[in-house]
Structure 1
Amino acid sequence: MAMSRLDTLIERFRNKTISDEEHAELLSLLSREEHARTARKFFREIMDSQSGTEPIFSARESQQLYTSIQQTIQSKEETQPVRMFPIWKWAGVAAAACVLFVTSYWLMQPREPKAITTVAETKQVLPDLQPGNKNKAILVLADNKQIVLDSTNAGLLSLQGNSRVRKEENGQIIYESGDLSGKPVAHVYNELYIPNGGEYSLVLADGSKVWLNSASRIKFPVTFTGNTREVEINGEAYFEIAKDKTKPFKVHFNSSTVEVLGTHFNINSYDDENRQAVTLLEGSVKVANGESVYARTSEDKTVILKPGEQATLFRKSQTAHPISVQPVDVEQAVAWKNGYFMFVDEDIKSIMRKLARWYDFTPVYQGNVDEEQFGGMISRFRNISDVLMMFESTGTIHFKIIPGDNSGKGRKIIITK
Structure 2
Amino acid sequence: MSIQDRLAYLLQQAVSHTATADELQELSDLIQADDTGHTAQLAEMLLRKELPGEAADYDETYWNQVAANILAADRPVERVVPMRPQYRRAWLAAAVVSGVLLLAGGAYRLMQKPAPVPLATVTPKPANDVAPGSNKAVLILADGTQVPLDSAINGTLAQQGNTKISRQGAGQLTYTYNGASHDALTMQYNTLRTPRGGQFQVTLPDGTHVWLNAESTLKYPVSFNGRNRQVELNGEAYFEVAANAHQPFRVMVPTRTDNGKDSLEIAVLGTHFNVMAYDNEQQIKTTLLEGAVRVSSNGNSKRLQPGEGIALNKSNSTLSAPASVNTEEAVAWKNGFIQLEGNDIASAMRLIARWYDVEVIYKAPVSAHFRGIIPRNVPVSQVLKMMELTGEVHFEIKGKQLIVSP
1:207 and 2:207 are equivalent in the alignment: yes
Amino acid at match of 1:265: F
Pick aligned residue for 1:99 from 82, 90, 111: 90
Counterparts of 1:285 and 1:11, CA distance in 2: 45
Tell me what 1:45 maps to. 68
Counterparts of 1:97 and 1:272, CA distance in 2: 34
Counterparts of 1:94 and 1:305, CA distance in 2: 28
Shift in CA distance, 196/249, structure 1 to aligned 2, threshold 3 Å: same
Q: How does 1:101-140 map to 2 (within 5 A)?
A: 101-105=92-96, 106-108=98-100, 110=102, 119-120=119-120, 123=124, 125-133=126-134, 135-140=135-140
Amino acid at match of 2:120: A
Counterparts of 1:164 and 1:37, CA distance in 2: 46
Amino acid at match of 2:99: L
- Aligned partners of 1:238 and 1:266 also within 8 Å: yes
Pick aligned residue for 1:353 from 332, 350, 354: 350
Pick aligned residue for 1:267 from 256, 268, 275: 275
Tell me what 1:378 maps to. 374
Tell me what 1:305 maps to. 304
Report how far residue 392 of structure 1 moved: 1.6
Tell me what 2:35 maps to. none
Pick aligned residue for 1:337 from 334, 337, 349: 334
Counterparts of 2:24 and 2:72, CA distance in 1: 17
Counterparts of 1:390 and 1:175, CA distance in 2: 40
Tell me what 1:362 maps to. 359
Shift in CA distance, 12/109, structure 1 to aligned 2, threshold 3 Å: closer
- Aligned partners of 2:154 and 2:169 also within 8 Å: yes
Tell me what 2:316 maps to. 317
Report how far residue 317 of structure 1 moved: 2.1
Moved more, 251-260 or 42-51: 42-51
Tell me what 1:415 maps to. 404
- Aligned partners of 2:47 and 2:93 also within 8 Å: no
Counterparts of 1:38 and 1:29, CA distance in 2: 22
Amino acid at match of 2:395: F
Shift in CA distance, 97/220, structure 1 to aligned 2, threshold 3 Å: farther
Shift in CA distance, 17/136, structure 1 to aligned 2, threshold 3 Å: closer
- Aligned partners of 2:230 and 2:251 also within 8 Å: yes
Tell me what 2:110 maps to. none
Specify every segment of 5 or more residues in structure 2 that has no aligned partner in the other structure, as ranges: 1-12, 28-45, 76-81, 105-116, 255-262
Counterparts of 1:393 and 1:210, CA distance in 2: 35
Tell me what 1:293 maps to. none
Report how far residue 107 of structure 1 moved: 3.1
3-state SS of the aligned residue for 2:371? strand
Report how far residue 152 of structure 1 moved: 0.7
Counterparts of 1:414 and 1:104, CA distance in 2: 25
Amino acid at match of 1:251: V
- Equivalenced residues, count: 347
Pick aligned residue for 2:388 from 384, 387, 392: 392
- With the length of structure 2 as denominator, give the TM-score of the two structures: 0.76
Specify every segment of 5 or more residues in structure 1 that has no aligned partner in the other structure, as ranges: 1-5, 53-90, 291-297, 404-410
- Aligned partners of 2:199 and 2:213 also within 8 Å: yes
Counterparts of 2:91 and 2:24, CA distance in 1: 25
Report how far residue 186 of structure 1 moved: 3.8
- Aligned partners of 1:400 and 1:413 also within 8 Å: yes
Percent identity for Structure 1 against Structure 2: 34
Tell me what 2:188 maps to. 188
- With the length of structure 1 as denominator, give the TM-score of the two structures: 0.74
Counterparts of 1:315 and 1:226, CA distance in 2: 31
RMSD: 3.5
- Aligned partners of 1:219 and 1:231 also within 8 Å: yes
Shift in CA distance, 120/202, structure 1 to aligned 2, threshold 3 Å: same
Report how far residue 36 of structure 1 moved: 8.8
Report how far residue 339 of structure 1 moved: 0.5
Tell me what 1:328 maps to. 325
Amino acid at match of 2:72: S
- Aligned partners of 1:159 and 1:181 also within 8 Å: no
Tell me what 1:241 maps to. 241
- Aligned partners of 1:200 and 1:211 also within 8 Å: yes
Q: Deviations over 1:297-346 (max 9, x none)?
A: x3xx2111111111111114265xx2232111111111101101122221
Tell me what 1:81 maps to. none
Report how far residue 395 of structure 1 moved: 2.1
